[in-house]
Structure 1
Amino acid sequence: MDMNSFFTDLQGKINQAIESSPAKDIEKNVKAMMTQGFSKLDLVTREEFDIQAQVLAKTRAKLDALEKRIAELEAGIDAKP
């Protein structure tokens, strides 16, 4: 028996033991509790966050351009006699 098949067999036996043990039920219950807890929170996905970050960056750029334009217009008004 080579080492590769030994470890494969060992892994299979460990997985089988975990599947038939209370640890699997505990894992399932913990996942269910966490899913239920997260569903109560007001969370967003990473994709939604990235999209909103892009929208914010575009809005910031537009705001900066408008502030600059207003400053130029005010300077023009102040310069007129």
Structure 2
Amino acid sequence: MNPKDLIGRFQQMLDQLPLADFSQPARQMLTSRLGQLLQEANLVSREEFEAQTEVLNRTRLRLEELEQRLNALIDHQASCPAAPEDPAAEK
């Protein structure tokens, strides 16, 4: 849920309370303060969190694939006999 939705739900809860319980200035103050707290907390929406989690999972899988390929190349290089040196290169 994004911060605006949370503020909206909070406002709806306040609107359902009898006027004797909260005066309008108190409601405005609470709503305003909740908005400030949400901004200070650097909250992200559930959708943004899930999107970033998906990106992270894909990146992790790609990294694992690249590590496997690198290890296969290293193993292949270690198993190949060393190429004979070119005697013409030494002259």
Unaligned runs of 5+ in 2: 1-15, 82-91
Deviant stretches of 4+, over 3 Å: none
What is the aligned partner in structure 2 of residue 12 from structure 1?
Answer: none
Give the TM-score taking structure 1 as reference length. 0.69
Once the two structures are TM-superposed, the CA of residue 24 in structure 1 deviates from its matched residue by: 4.0
Q: Which runs of 5+ in 1 are unaligned?
A: 1-14
Number of aligned positions between the proteins: 65
Percent of aligned positions that are identical: 28
Counterpart in 1 of 2:22? Answer: 23
Deviation string 1:45-67 (CA, Å, 9 cap, x unpaired) is: 11110000000000000000000
Deviation at 1:22, TM superposition (A): 5.5
The residue type paired with residue 57 of structure 2 is A
Aligned position for 2:65: 65
TM-score, structure 2 as length reference: 0.62
Greater RCO (CA < 8 Å, at least 6 residues apart): 2
